[in-house]
Structure 1
């Protein structure tokens, strides 16, 4: 396969670390470095198997984690000396990055009059209009977790085969859009329901990433415990939905 999805379009290495910290429910200043390193490397292997183009920053972070892990395993030369915790090498930039992301989120949620946001009436209430309640978007790494669960379920049920047949990302993009034309929202698992070949599952996942990157599909999770859902952001009258942009066929 030659799909070469660029990972840097979506998330960076610090985002992956934050995802792992939240997933393992650990303190940023007390990171189980061995566990996090193992899981981080597992994600890189999954990215490689999906033929995603991994930015150099991800590999640098992998080297940093391995280096910190090796330092943690070394015995202290002088017990009386208070050496700095090696994990601070990643904890500090992580904390700073998380603070910057939170600030960016707050700024993006503010009303910017005169640009692309209309002023909302002070009387508008989300309680009055529940459909207007913002739904939190899902990160790339949450999507990868969901995809691994889908694959694991398919393997356990004997639904995954391996064949020489080749699948097109373009065709799978259209298949996903067909589903979204039929229903406003669909569950993440639904885009894989007709898949039987391992490469078809992979191409379908890559097609979803392409749609998310182009802004034609939004992926969200109504609550932390609920299933991931997809909603259409494309307009049927927009020719770019059908592979054309600015009058040219892509």
Structure 2
């Protein structure tokens, strides 16, 4: 069975690099290129195993990382010499991208404040909920893949992901997720995999989730890195429409 989920609408290769840098808690000016390259390639392998379409720019960045890694492993490469650090090739665009992203987020926050000021009363209940749960930070495709890999590892499924002739289709699992979210409106990421006994069913469910996120029907967020990802319905309940 052939499952294809477009990845381009999520994050680009620079987002993946930033995700790995934050995950490893390393200085952007002193990136452990071997570690980051290996982890980057692992993510691409995971995407391919899930039959997720990998955009060309991800592959270009992969070749760039491998080139930098091989250059730094050469016998004649020594740190502290006058030669420019090969990692500058990715550090510069990363810094530029971070500045652009920060500026865009600041503008978005200002726009939200301008819309809300003097028009919406302060909701103390909402503030109490936020203080308990923490800020709702949008989760990206890489955090979803990391969480999915963790579930597979914890359940001790085979790490070689091969989809056999499955009894489930992405369409069926999409309908299942829509029904679940229509009933509960918000669930933890782990909840959608409860009671699933095979790796094939897990993968098809995960692909169905990606399709719903791509379609803008589900929002994913993670209050902090050590908290479970939450899924929230962005579609209206049929019962609400009938009222």
Which stretch of structure 1 is more off in the superposition, 122-131 or 10-19?
122-131
- Assess if the C-alpha contact under 8 Å between 1:212 and 1:218 holds in 2: yes
Which residue of 2 is the match for residue 121 of structure 1?
Answer: 118
Q: Give the helix-richer structure, 1 or 2.
A: 2
Cα distance between partner residues in 2 of 1:32 and 1:175: 42
Q: Distance in 2 between matches of 1:152 and 1:79?
A: 38
**Contact in 1 for aligned 2:157/2:199 (Cα 8 Å):** no
Q: Which residue is 2:235 aligned to?
A: 234
What's the CA shift for 1:41? 0.6
User: Which consecutive residues of structure 2, in runs of 5 or more, have no partner in the other structure?
Assistant: none
> Aligned partners of 1:99 and 1:68: how far apart in 2?
23
Structure-to-structure mapping, 1:132-211, within 5 angstroms: 133=130, 135-155=136-156, 164-211=165-212
Q: What 5-or-longer segments of structure 1 have no aligned partner?
A: 239-250
Q: Aligned residue pairs: how many? A: 233
Higher mean C-alpha deviation, range 130-139 or range 166-175? 130-139
SS state at 2:17 partner: helix
Could you say which residue in structure 1 is the equivalent of 2:36?
36
* Deviation by residue 1:64-85 (Cα, 9 ceiling, x = unmatched): 0111011111233799951111
User: Quick one: distance in 2 between partners of 1:119 and 1:162?
Assistant: 48
Give 1:13 deviation, angstroms.
Answer: 0.7
Q: Cα 1:111–1:154, aligned 2, differ >3 Å: closer, same or farther?
A: same
Deviates more, 1:21-30 or 1:190-199: 190-199
TM-score of the superposed pair, with normalisation by structure 1: 0.84
Number of the residue aligned with 1:2: 2
- 1:126–1:71 Cα change, 3 Å: farther
* Distance in structure 2 (CA, Å) of the matches to 1:197 and 1:155: 11
Aligned equivalents of 2:234 and 2:196: distance in 1?
24
Distance between the aligned counterparts of 1:128 and 1:211, measured in 2? 29
Answer yes or no: is the 8 Å Cα contact 1:163–1:197 preserved in 2: no
Identify the residue that residue 245 of structure 1 maps to in structure 2. Answer: none
Structure-1 residue corresponding to 2:58? 58
Task: Quote how far apart the aligned CAs of 1:204 are.
Answer: 0.6
